């Protein structure tokens, strides 16, 4: 009995001791994590700069005074970029009929592909931070200040490079953002609300965010590290202090931080910045297609088992894609040997390809895999984004008419080429698919349409399968739509 009691006491003592060791280990682990964040702050902060821009404005635009005579800390344009046009930052009234809009942001020292220079330093930031600035002032962590000039801007990606006349500043090392994984720790450093060298910590919430509508070219890293006005242009770094992205915007319904921030991946920012430094502008690759995301319904309509890739809705005349043999209805599944998963990433990959380069397109055509060699062209101007007697049809909710010569003139279409939608029933599958009056339906189940009667007949043929595939056009946008009932 005595031995049994002694054994129980020993087990209890061991359990308490082990619990104490476990708690000590957990605290030690947290302490090490805190030291890792502190190390990142020490290593990265000397390369992060505070950017202040000044814009002159006429007195006719008005201006409100700010309590205590202080200006709004980050400027109206930057405020609107984050929170929308319904919010407006007050501006301090300046004497002599002239006022100045002061905006603030962040940036970081960037080493171009040619390395650091002894007589100047390049700083990477957002285009919206320095756009339309009359003057730009850069302040370093050590208190030194410099006037800056714009080396190059690219509004479509929201990337800009500014230059200051000094050398020897430490450039931040750049990571390979394509290897970034959801759940990794990241640190945002910048100057939110003018509070210099502010560090916030979070994780990577998602990668490859496209279609948000902030920039023309998007491939955002989403993070819950706190990003606020003034953080724009600052670095998002990993625990090694290597830059993985450039903080750009937040999503907010309240006008404040809500845990959803977006950063441009550094691979994209670096490619744009190197072009801006070399030439002052950006040259983008051009394929000459209108594409859309392949959905399960579209894949089934085209007899494709996998739901991966992008669907070609249109091939432009005399385009690189047309010369390579790409057809409407093809599904692009790979580009330069890498899988194509969505419209945004494919569009970015083509845009970043040097004109004149040869690339292999992996496609599916009528279920068969093929490879096409395409010579990438040069994109000219701003690209157009790709996404698309009366006869009523109950299943789809559409009412269509034959395109007469008179209608053709009004629509900018060709008489007898397709049918025009004149009405869409509220709540119908056609309305949910984004079809509205004025849309031209060019093909049904891959057959050209010439009249409302042909359209009705094609729908009759689809009733057994209870689905229909249509090629539609509205303005310059052309896309496929698959409807089920």
Which residues are identified as catalytic?
128, 158, 232
Half-sphere exposure of 119 toward its Cβ, with a 13 Å CA cutoff? 0
CA atoms within 13 Å, Cβ hemisphere of 104: 19
Contacts of residue 391, Cβ cutoff 8 Å, sequence gap at least 6: 399, 400, 401, 419, 452, 453, 455, 456
Task: Tell me, letter by letter, the H, E, C secondary structure of the chain.
Answer: CHHHHHHHHHHHHHHHHHHHHHHHHHHHHHHHHHHHHHHHHHHHHHHEEEEEEEEEEEHHHCCCCCHHHCCCCCCHHHHHHHHCCCCCCCCCCCCCCEEEEEEEEEEEEECECCECCCCCEEEEEEHHHHCCCCEEEEECCCCCEEEEEEEEEECCCCEEEEEECCCCCCCCCECCHHHCCCCCEEEEEECHHHCCCEEEEEEEEEEEECCCCCCCCCCEEEECCCCCCCCCCCEEECCCCCEEEEEEEECCCCCCCCCCEEEEEHHHHHHHHHHHHHHCCCCCEECCEEEEECCHHHHHHCCCCCCCCEEEEEECCCCHHHHHCCCCCCEEEEECCEECCCHHHHHHHHHCCCCCCEEEEEEEECCEEEEEEEECEECCCCCCCCCCCCEEECCCCEEEEECCHHHHHHHCCCCCCCEEEEEECCCCHHHHCCCCCCCEEEEECCEECCCHHHHHHHHHHHCCCCEEEEEEEECCEEEEEEEEC
User: Of 198, 178, 199, nearest to 244 (Cα)?
Assistant: 178
Cα(73)–Cα(65) distance, rounded to whole angstroms? 13
Tell me which residue of 14, 111, 97, 29 sits closest to 63, measured CA to CA.
97
Q: For residue 40, what are its two tokens?
A: 């990142």
CA 37 to chain centre: 28
Give Cα 405 distance to the centre of its chain. Answer: 42
Cβ-contact 201, 185 below 8 angstroms: yes
């Amino acid at each position: 009995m005595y031995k049994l009691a002694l054994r129980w006491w020993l087990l209890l003592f061991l359990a308490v001791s082990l619990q104490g060791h476990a708690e000590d280990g957990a605290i030690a682990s947290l302490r090490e994590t805190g030291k890792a964040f502190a190390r990142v702050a020490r290593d990265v902060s000397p390369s992060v700069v505070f950017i202040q821009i000044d814009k002159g404005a006429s007195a006719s635009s008005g201006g409100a005074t700010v309590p205590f005579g202080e200006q709004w800390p980050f400027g109206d344009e930057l405020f609107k970029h984050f929170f929308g046009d319904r919010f407006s930052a007050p501006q301090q009234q300046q004497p002599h009929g002239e006022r100045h809009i002061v905006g603030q942001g962040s940036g970081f020292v960037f080493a171009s592909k040619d390395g650091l220079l002894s007589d100047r330093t390049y700083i990477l930031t957002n285009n919206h931070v320095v756009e339309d600035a009359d003057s730009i002032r850069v302040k370093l962590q050590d208190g030194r200040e410099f006037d800056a000039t714009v080396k190059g801007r690219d509004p479509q990606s929201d990337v800009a490079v500014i230059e200051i006349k000094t050398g020897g500043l430490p450039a931040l090392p750049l990571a390979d953002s394509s290897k970034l994984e959801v759940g990794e720790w990241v640190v945002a450093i910048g100057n939110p609300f003018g509070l210099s060298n502010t560090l916030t910590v979070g994780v990577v919430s998602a990668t490859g965010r496209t279609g948000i509508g902030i920039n023309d070219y998007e491939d955002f890293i989403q993070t819950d590290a706190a990003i606020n006005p003034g953080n724009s242009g600052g670095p998002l770094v990993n625990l090694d202090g290597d830059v993985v992205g450039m903080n750009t915007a937040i999503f907010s319904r309240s006008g404040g931080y809500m845990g959803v921030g977006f950063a441009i991946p550094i691979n994209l920012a670096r490619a744009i910045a190197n072009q801006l430094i070399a030439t002052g502008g950006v040259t983008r690759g051009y394929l000459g297609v209108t594409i859309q995301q392949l959905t399960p319904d579209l894949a089934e309509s085209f007899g494709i088992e996998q739901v991966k890739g992008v669907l070609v809705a249109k091939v432009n005349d005399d385009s690189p894609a047309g010369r390579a043999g790409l057809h409407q209805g093809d599904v692009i599944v790979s580009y330069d040997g890498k899988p194509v998963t969505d419209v945004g990433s494919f569009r970015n990959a083509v845009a970043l390809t040097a004109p004149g380069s040869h690339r292999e397109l992996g496609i599916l055509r009528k279920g068969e895999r093929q490879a096409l060699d395409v010579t990438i062209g040069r994109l000219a101007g701003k690209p157009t984004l790709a996404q698309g007697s009366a006869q009523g049809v109950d299943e789809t909710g559409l009412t269509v008419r034959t395109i007469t010569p008179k209608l053709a003139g009004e629509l900018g279409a060709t008489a007898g080429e397709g049918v025009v939608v004149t009405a869409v029933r509220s709540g119908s599958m056609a309305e949910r698919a984004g079809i509205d009056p004025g849309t031209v339906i060019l093909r049904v189940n891959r057959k050209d349409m010439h009249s409302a009667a042909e359209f009705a007949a094609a729908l009759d043929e689809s009733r057994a399968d209870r689905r229909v595939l249509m090629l539609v056009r509205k303005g310059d946008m052309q896309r496929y739509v698959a409807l089920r009932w």
